[in-house]
Each structure stands twice: as C-alpha cells, then as structure tokens.
Chain A
Amino acid sequence: MNYGPVNWLAPPLALVLVILGVAWLAWVNRLAGDLARGRVSLETLMGPPRDMLRDLHKEFRLTERPDLALWLGAPLLLLTLTMAALTVLPLSPDWVGADSSVGVVFFTAMFALTLVAAYWAGWGPNSKYPLIAGYRFVGLMLAYEMPLAITVIAVALPAESLSVSSIVATQQAAYWNALTQPLGLVIYLLCALAVPFWGPFNVVNAPELAGGALVELSGAPKLLWRFGQYALLLTTSAFAVPLFFGGGAGPWWPAPVWSLVKILLVSGALVALGHGLGRLRLDRFMWWAWVVLIPLSLLNLFLIGLLILIWPGLAGK
C-alpha cells in the first residue's frame, strides 16, 4: 500500500477529476450525436449544461408503491462503485489512491457489482418496463464478464502481479500491452462499453422500452443515474490506460498529465464509437460472447503465455 503524502488529497481530487471527465464525455456525446444528425450548432456546446439544469429543475415523481431504498440507492451505488474502482487507478507511481496488490481483482469486482445497481434501478420503481430492463442487464453481464476477466488476466500475466502499478511498470520496462495484445485490447474495449451499458450495449435505457430503467425516473435522481453511467464509462475507459497504454508513459509531460490525456482520448473515442456502431441485439451479443469472445480471449491468454515463454524480454526480463 502507498501511504504517501498525496493520499489525503486523493478523494476530493478524484471527485473533481471525475466531474470534469463526465463533463468532457457529455460534450463529446453531444457532439457525436449532433454530427450524426447534421445539426452542429451553439446548442452542441450548450446542450450538456442545459440537460443538467433541466434535470435539477424537474420534479422527482413517484410511482405507485416503489421500493424507494433500491430505486434511489441504484444511482448512488453506481457512483460508489465507480469511485471505489478508481481508488486503484494509478495516474503515476505516486498518484494512486490505494496501490493494492490485488488491484486488478478489486476493480473487476466493482465492475461486476454494476449488475446490482442496474437490477435495483429496474426493480425499484415497481414498473414493468424498468423491470424488463433490469432482467436484460443480467443476461448482458453474464455474457461480457467472462471475456473481460480472462482478458484482464492476460494483461496481468507479463507482470506476474495483480497490482495495476506493476502492470504499468512492466509495460514501461518492455512493450505496451496494446502492442503485444491487440486482440485483448479490442475485447477489453468492447467490455468497457458493455459494463456501463453504453452505445451498442444500451439494453438498460433502451428506446424499445421507452427508456427502460429511466422510464419512471426524473429530477435529481435521474441526473445522478446519468452521471453515474458516464462516470462508469469514464472508469472502464480509464483502466484501459494502465492495462494497455503504458499508464503515464510519454515524453515531456509528467506521468499524471499523460495518464489524464490518454484517459480523455480513450473515453472520448469510446463515446463517439457508441454512436457509430448502432445497438446490438442482446440475443446476438450473447451468442457472440459465448461462442466467439470467450474462445478469443482464451486464445489471447494462451498466445501471450507462449510469447513470454519464447521471448522473456516481452515481460521486461
């Protein structure tokens, strides 16, 4: 564990960075949407703050006999899981909330618990469409969780450690995992979109369910849910940086700046990609995940293991 002097600043700083990151993603999302519509204007810039203020001024209206604890707890849980996962994200060797020796296990566990938040959001309002949305996320999560876990193990293999900082250090001593495991990178990025049910994986807030988990939600809780979803997307994208892009490695700038720049680029690209891909059918994705993605992630794991045996320099030895 790192108990350096920067740690007491970490929680408020992390919150500020997450808020800025979410604002960035909301703006990129708006820009990508308006580009697709052919309607880029001043409203593209004003849209995200307008949406935020609108939600704040909108009434929170109850449904008949909701389970309020779960309904209102869902966005809070989503946000809590995000902030918890971020504690093991190193911006540099010194800028890390908790440099846990099992950081990889910790953040994937936080991602897995998203299931609980999505199901609460479906169950809480005592309404049918959100409930269907909750069911569907269970199916989606079961499909993406295995390829995600196997890919993350493959990333940890060259470092022979489950610490995120060690994975970064190994890449800085040898090669970035994005170069040695391109297949793993693609699988990870797909899962990084699926965990926060974004773009092609948006089965929770889907239009054919009139908004799904959001159909009964309004006012500040809705703003919190949307914020949580953006923050989760930011977090899943952020972990691509230490896992695949060498963390804070880069010339001229200090490591935390490089980490932040890379995070903004990866997350922005994923948000824009979500607009270009169109939504996947859940049945088709489940077939793809079980029949194609899991074998591919196992192949990736096998290949990287074999490569390290043949060429130990790949793992910085």
Chain B
Amino acid sequence: MHRARHFAFGRPRAFPVVGLGGVEPWRELLLHRQLSLGRGPRDADLLVLSGEIPTDWGNTLRALFETMALPRLVLYVAPGADTDPLPGLPPGYTASSVEGIDWTLLWERLLDSQGPSARALLADQPPTPWRGRGDHGQGGEGMMGGTPYGRPMAMTMEDPDQLALDDVPTALGPHFPGLPSGLYLGLRLQGDRVRQCEGVENRFPSQSPPPGSGHREPALRARAREAVPVADLEQARLRSHLGWLADLLDLCDRPGLAMRLREARKDLDSHALRRLLDRAESRQLYYQTRNIGVISSAQARQWRLAGPVARASGLKLDTRNHDPAYRELGFQPVVERGGDVWSRCRVRIRECYQSLDLLDRAGDAHTRAPEGARGSFLDTAGGGLDTPSARNLAALQPGLAGLEWHEAVLFVGSLDLDTEEAAWR
C-alpha cells in the first residue's frame, strides 16, 4: 500500500501562485521531469508559491489550499527563502531554487497523512449561514437578484439578442491557471458570454521595482539612461515573448508545443527556435485566435496601450525606432493591423524572428531605448514609473464586454500582462 502510494504521487501535480520575482522559478519548475502541471487546485498535489508572496494574499491562499484534495503540500520556491512565507498556511517544503529541492523529503511530507497539511485550515461550514426556505436551503422560491445570505443571485437581463437571460456574477482570478497571478476580474456572465466587466483589480502591492527584475532589467536600466547592450535587451525580449507564447499555447490546448518552446527558451538556440516558431505560427493558431478581442488603433491610442499590443493594432509605437544603435542595425518596428488576438500573436512571433536576427548582427552595440518586451518604460509627470503592463490593464474592462468565456480568457492572455510590473511606481 505504501509503495503504491509512493508510486502514485511519484510525479506530483502542481498549481502555481506566482509572487514577486516568481515567474522564472515557476517556469524552471515547469520543465522539471519530477513534476506535472495540474489543471486546477483540486487536481493538484502541490500548491507552488513561487517568489515572494504578498502577505495580504494569506486569506485567499488559505481558501485555495483548502480546496485541494488530500494529500497536499505547499511548496515554496524563492531565492533566499528559509521559512514558510505565510503564517496562515501550514509549513510545507521550502527551497531557494528548483535544483535545491530534495524530492525524497518532499514526497515524505506530501504523503504524511498525519502532517499539518492534512489538517483542515478552515471550519467546515458555509461562509454565511443558509436560512432560506427552498428545498436545499436556498433563498426562497421565486427570488431573484440581490445577495441573500451573502450569496449573489442571478437576475434576468436582456442580452444582445433581446432575450431575458440570467445575469450571473462571477470572477476570473486572482489565481486562474494560465493567467497572471493577482489579477482579479469581476464579471457578469450570461450563459458563457461576458455581459460586463465590473472591475479590474491588481492584487500586487504598489512598490518600486526591486533590483534584479528578471527580463525587465535591461529596459529598466535603459530607462535610467544607462547604455545597455542591444544583445541583452533582445535576449530578454525573446525570452519573455517565448514564455508568453508557451502560456498562450497552453490556453489553446497545445501543451506539447508549449513545453518545447519553454525548453528552447533556456538556451535560445536560433535554429531550433526558428523551427518551433514556424510550427507555432500555424493556421491552427490562426483559426483559434482570429477576430477575438479586437482593439482598433483609435482604441489603442485612447487607452494608451503599449508595446506589441499597440503595434498589433497598427500603432508604430516603439522607442527602438528612434534609437541610433537600432537604426544602424536596420531596425523596423513590427506592426500588424488586425488588432485581434491573432495579430498580437503575429507581432510577438515576428518580433522573436527579429530579435534572433538582431542578436546575430548586434555585436557589442549599446542602446538607451527603454523598450521592454511589453512596451516602453516611461516617466510619469511626478517622476514615477509608468509601466507598459499598467497601461495595458486599461484594455481589460472595455475589451471584455461581449466576449464568450474562451475568448475572454484568450483576450486576457494575449495582453501579456505582468501584474507585478503593473504595480511598480
């Protein structure tokens, strides 16, 4: 029995929550052969807390962990970590890096049926009492709308075809698989169509960019008027775009190609990457993403969108275009006119090819163009930092209305939002 249990959880499934600086450790962990990706928390054995988790996420994470079926464990991966991050969660397994994980010890803790992870964290009772009159304790027959007993109830509303349909309040996030952690979207659904996005919330706390901010670092250094090697900037862009493309392919149910892209992004081998990018830019992806979440160039300008998102809507916004080093390399910004998810894919895929070409030619050229993978880092009027992710968040609320659920998820994914970056001031 013990052996069978050990065998059964030999490749535990993980569900990620990505905190500050946690994107890269999570992507590294995803490639590990001892681990597989769970589709949701119920499907997972490990709640992976990657990076530094904001302390005010404690309640949400406790509820998330409580939805996980036994056996379960919190795996905390963050550089320099030596204690469990959140007091509300049971002590799990802590590692400073993926290589530092002792898998035997991890399995031992995961399969410990008397351990702290096996105990209930929350009382097994409804969040608010049920006192309704219906057969199953619901609010009462014939009642619609409002929030009886703390539970929002559907109210019929007219849909675009003038049909009276239930209008169901629901949420996307703050920890939805495949989308950035900390992004919470309050939605009203009719069937599986989003009638309205009521609110967008980034749950990362506002702060200054920490030193060593991963792929964004070269662009941030350039923003500080430091001359940065073009090769550094383009490698960072390439890695970021490839990571984004892999996540989007996962959402399109193409995990095989997504995994190959994640592996290829480790060493950026030009030949292998070009082959994979050719495969990714397929008719299949075109049919899966075309005409979804269209943003016109006027809307892109009005919402002050940045980077590939703006360029996919026909705006030639790229600070590299005015940089002498890039001009010398013959740089031309990649622009598409469709404004849909497919155009955003095309822009990023073509920018990957462009980065590979620039890496071949760049030599030791240096630049001061603060153009990161998601767009340019600008200064606000008060001298603060205006990040591309913060600007692109503006597209969510107006852009989600009218989309079907799968379109909504692809639309959010296509914006390549970095919620940690969006909280930088």
Contacts and interface: CB of A to CB of B under 8 A. Distances in A.
Does B associate with A? yes
Interface of A: 33, 35-39, 41, 43, 47, 50, 53-54, 56-61, 64-65, 128, 132, 135-136, 202, 205-211, 214-219, 275, 277-284
Interface stretch (B78-86, B358-366, B402-410): B402-410
A65 B40 CA distance: 20
21 contacts: A36-B254, A36-B259, A37-B255, A38-B256, A39-B33, A54-B9, A57-B71, A58-B69, A59-B69, A61-B67, A65-B126, A65-B130, A207-B178, A207-B253, A210-B40, A275-B256, A278-B253, A278-B288, A279-B252, A282-B404, A284-B287
A215 B42 contact: yes
A209 B263 contact: no
Interface string B259-289: 1100100000000000000000000110110
Contact of A278 (B126, B130, B254): B254
B376 to A, nearest CB: 30
Given A61-B42, A128-B170, A208 B409 contact: yes
Nearest to A277: B284
The 4 closest A-B pairs by CB, nearest first: A36-B256, A53-B8, A211-B39, A218-B69
Contacts of B168: 128
B42 A279 contact: no
Contacts of A36: 254-257, 259
A216 B68 CA distance: 9
Interface string B413-425: 0000000000000
Nearest to B171: A128
Given A54-B9, A283-B404, A210 B177 contact: yes
A209 B287 CA distance: 20
Contact of A279 (B70, B191, B253): B253
B176 interface: yes
B173 to A, nearest CB: 11
B133 interface: no
Contacts of A217: 42
Contact of B42 (A33, A38, A216): A216
Given A53-B4, A61-B42, A279-B288, 18 more contacts: A36-B255, A37-B256, A43-B33, A47-B11, A54-B9, A58-B69, A61-B69, A132-B192, A207-B177, A209-B405, A210-B177, A214-B39, A214-B40, A214-B43, A218-B69, A280-B287, A281-B288, A284-B287
A36 B178 CA distance: 19
A202 B168 CA distance: 24
B137 interface: yes
A280 B259 CA distance: 20
B322 interface: no
A39 B259 contact: yes
B406 to A, nearest CB: 5
Given A136-B192, A207-B177, A56 B39 contact: no
Nearest to B287: A284
A64 B66 CA distance: 12
A135 B170 CA distance: 16
B69 A208 contact: no
B192 A206 contact: no
B52 interface: no
Contacts of A279: 252-253, 288
Interface of B: 4-5, 7-11, 33, 39-40, 42-43, 67-71, 126, 130, 136-137, 168, 170, 176-178, 189, 191-192, 250-257, 259-260, 263, 284-285, 287-288, 404-406, 409-410
Nearest to A218: B69
Given A218-B43, A278-B284, A64 B11 contact: no
A64 B125 CA distance: 9
Contacts of A64: 126
Contacts of A58: 69-71
Of B42, B126, B176, B189, chain A has the most CB atoms within 10 Å of the CB of: B42
A292 to B, nearest CB: 14
B168 to A, nearest CB: 7
A27 B254 CA distance: 19
A63 to B, nearest CB: 8
A139 to B, nearest CB: 9
A206 B253 contact: yes
B22 to A, nearest CB: 20
Contact of A56 (B8, B10, B404): B8
Contacts of A216: 42
Nearest to B10: A50
Given A38-B259, A39-B259, A210-B176, A135 B191 contact: yes
Contact of A65 (B10, B137, B252): B137
A105 B33 CA distance: 47
A122 to B, nearest CB: 11
Contact of B69 (A60, A65, A135, A275): A60
Contacts of A65: 126, 130, 136-137
Given A60-B69, A128-B170, A132-B192, A208 B256 contact: no
A300 B91 CA distance: 64
A42 to B, nearest CB: 11
A43 B192 contact: no
Contacts of A209: 405
A153 B7 CA distance: 48
Contact of A37 (B137, B252, B259): B259
B312 to A, nearest CB: 19
Contacts of A38: 256, 259-260, 263
A93 to B, nearest CB: 42
B39 A210 contact: yes
B8 A54 contact: yes
Contacts of A50: 7-8, 10-11
Contact of B253 (A128, A202, A219): A202
Contacts of B254: 36, 278
